[in-house]
Structure 1
Amino acid sequence: MNGADAQSPVIVVGAGLAGLTCALDLVRAGLPVRVLEAADEVGGRVRTDRRDGFLLDRGFQVFNTSYPQVKRRIELPRLRLRPFTPGVLIHTAEGGRIRFTDPTRRPSDALALLTGKQDGKPGTGPGPLALAALGPLCALDLLAPPRLLKRLPELTTREELARWRVPDRVVDGFLRPFLAGVFLEDDLDTSSRMFHLTWRSMLRGTLTLPADGMGAVPRQLAEGLPPGCVERASPVAALSAAGVTFADGSAADARAVVVATDAAAARSLVPGLPAVATRTVTTYHHAATRSPLREPTLLLDARRRILNTCVLTEVAPTYSADGRALISTSVLGTDAPGREAALREVLAELYATGTRDWERVGTTTVAGALPAMVPPWPLSRTGRTASGVYVCGDHRATGSVQGAMASGTRTARELLADLRRP
């Protein structure tokens, strides 16, 4: 705590999911709060831009309805959620397609899953024995309470799958390309505890997109705060003994400060905060006059040339204002000269159609899109720091909507407890 009086507000630096969640709990506890956001809109990395009549999320994102924080805080009907199919299509190394589907939700696809046939054509399915190896693992993650999953021995995801004797054919043909888009790494180095919790959320929830883009989620949270609480275009340059200093040199007093930015920005504001390795992703958005895949399904590449690609307008037609198809494709790392041209060739193969006439609508690189959650990775960290300020964000928990909001919740709880302490 700093030396400001009890009438000074708590300042939350950053209006992403963590900062907004923290601010909501502080306001509900009766504290005056100022949320200072450097950008012109709330959301942080969970934003949606409007360009040429299209909704462009910052990086490929999905909204999972099973997260506890989502169930607690979000009015789902207001988002007008549009579901993906409960499965994915994988372009195999041999050039065919395999459909991996949850047979409990799409029983009609179970035969295709076992045989590998897609649209009546022969494929290279993993076979029933290979798939059966996933059964015990899925049963554990589906039925066990999260507290048990959090206490499992921590390995890499790759080591954990080997421990469960999941065949290489299933790992390399399905799990590796799928999880690459979830964790933004394709070596399965992510903590096995994070894998189990993520797999549980996939099995129990539905992957969707809000009709107005992922940015609708933080906007709904912000609407729950008092008018004027969120101050946009208010970049904070430094923290001071009394509060914060803005980029223009002005200052504001605070009873306490919560830094709710990404990992790099938090470390620049809070001396001594440990560095957190992160993953970077680039997403290319293309428009086409006709949809290259007439279903709301993720398309993956077993050769790992991309993370994933999807015709977003098949999921949510509202992502396009004029009826054209919007195709979103994500790759690891940053954009570079010639990368988009090479990507078009890959997409032409994956979608089995020409891509030369596709219009490039936008390209977004998100540096630090997710923390690199390699073992040992604490699933939850305190918001308190040695310097007396508080820090929250997915880099203090897990790289997900749930992790960001849970970190904001924990930090608000700790701050309130400290304020009440004699």
Structure 2
Amino acid sequence: MSLRWKITATITVVSVLVAVALSVIVHFAFAYRLADEAREVQQERIDLVMREFSRTGQPSLGGTLDDPDLPRDLRAAVEDGQKATLIEDTADGSYVWAAEPVGDGRILSLRDSYQGRLDSLASLDRVLVAGAAAVVMAGAGSGVLIGASLSKRLRRAASAAGRVADGDRSARVSAAIGGRSRDEAAELAQAIDAMADALQARLEAERRVTADIAHELRTPLTGLTTAAELLPPGRPSELVRDRVGALRALVEDVLEVARLDTDNERAELSEVALAEFTARRVSAYGPGVEVRVVADAVLETDPRRLERILVNLVANAVRHGAPPVLVEIDGPRISVRDHGPGFPETVLHDGPIRFRMGPGQTGGHGLGLTIALGQARVLGARLEFANPPGGGALATLDLALKPSGTI
């Protein structure tokens, strides 16, 4: 149940309880008042009847001497020498009684109908039911309006927070929820905006540090590469050149990740026939990898960035998976499947994390999938990772979405 309906249900329940409580209180208060008034009137009348009886010796004004229908409880009270009144409900109606002893064990009584007052009480009950229904309807309506307003603001806040999480630096939760009210939702929005600004500032500082370090490493690496080429042939020289090449590739990857973190990258679009393009790149970078074409597609994308994604996915499958490795093109969708141990759970749940390898994985820095995901984001494509039921790892690139930026 959404917050909107929870608020509506709560307000409705409270309205029902309040309406019922007030109706019950008013009903019984009015019923007691009617009974008290009827008893007072009947006492005054029995006093008049008693005075006339004392003067004439005969009952008058509707009074009855030793009425056989006198209720037992009333008779018992009068026989104790007390003047008493009683409201009696019978099969043929309700009556109010008054009785007083006149001596020699005789009782003078007076009976009047109580039905008129009960009719008044019934009329009041109908009014109370109608009023309670109106209160409940008004409460439910106000609950719907209040809940809808709050739910709408919170949904806008969640949507804006989602855009912030996706890297939209211009998104602000306070602006999304709107309004001038300074309630808890506005305070929450301000807190989220402050947190987003702080995180952005920290991430930007880390990105600048990473980019500066990688950039500064380029100059000594260039010299180191030149010096390695001047070494005499031999196994030690090959090892030095291999490590220098790996370090150079790592620096270039770090710089690329830093550029992707800026969200300033734009795709340079051109027409690409996916089947032919994929087959050529895969054969060059992944010999022995099978390419299967289910359906070809020609679409506009950035060939350089698409090649980078394909190369990283194939390299990851070859390095950390197991043969056979299959690349399948199905329209705008490209999938890379291997039959190794599959992606680590952290990749499936949180996505690839730079400089973090899965259990038992060696020979990399955890940047390949990170770069592939960043380049897919620039292309406006969706890159998903899964471990299919048959075993292995499956990376699916969907290029059918709209590029995030073009030049």
TM-score range, shorter chain: under 0.3
Compare relative contact order (CA 8 Å, sep 6+) and give the higher one, 1 or 2: 1
Name which one, 1 or 2, has greater alpha-carbon Rg.
2
TM-score relative to the length of structure 2: 0.19
**More helix per residue: 1 or 2?**
2
TM-score relative to the length of structure 1: 0.18
**More strand per residue: 1 or 2?**
1
